[in-house]
Homo-oligomer: A and B are copies of this chain.
């Protein structure tokens, strides 16, 4: 039963400090001491909360020298709300008639995320359809901080959280202009430069 996961998820979000922590992380990755400072709690408390959030697959971490950087796992955040509703409603005998219709015009982005990421926010596989692939790439890239430089090692570390074949992911990021590389250093491209896919079939 996946009831446990649902409960772990909601427990994780049922504390003000943890939610504030996630809100901070929505602005980009951050490390323990910085969070401790901004939240007004001790470093030990941050460690405690980070463990809960990690257990619920709401954050990823990356180590750089002595510092551990946390990033939001927003694929998981977005898909979990749906998962709860599904769990509760799944026992209903019949779908209301409107459901079928609704499903047809259903939000493309949300459904791609729901289909290609596991509930823990890991990428099942890279979509072959370009339109969907770009949604998936764009989604993972939002975890990175704009204007920040990443070494290849740092980037790999982060991408490993999504899929073992981090090298392919890194290559796709470059190929579709989400990031650019300048002598071993990777950086996010401004959003205007991200591959446009609105015109695709």
Contacts and interface: CB of A to CB of B under 8 A. Distances in A.
Interface of A: 3, 6-7, 10-11, 13-16, 19-20, 22-23, 26-27, 72, 74, 77-78, 80-82, 84-85, 87-89, 91-92, 94, 96-99, 101-103, 105-110, 134-135, 138-139, 142, 191, 194, 196-198
Nearest to A142: B96
A16 to B, nearest CB: 6
Contacts of A108: 101-102, 105
Contact of A85 (B81, B88, B105): B81
14 contacts: A3-B19, A6-B13, A7-B16, A23-B87, A23-B91, A27-B91, A80-B81, A81-B81, A96-B142, A96-B191, A98-B197, A102-B109, A103-B107, A107-B110
A79 to B, nearest CB: 9
A15 to B, nearest CB: 7
Contacts of A110: 102, 107
Nearest to A80: B81
A16 B74 CA distance: 25
Q: How many copies does the complex hold?
A: 2
Contacts of A142: 92, 96
Contact of A14 (B14, B82, B92, B134): B14
Given A19-B7, A77-B85, A105 B107 contact: yes
Contacts of A191: 94, 96-97
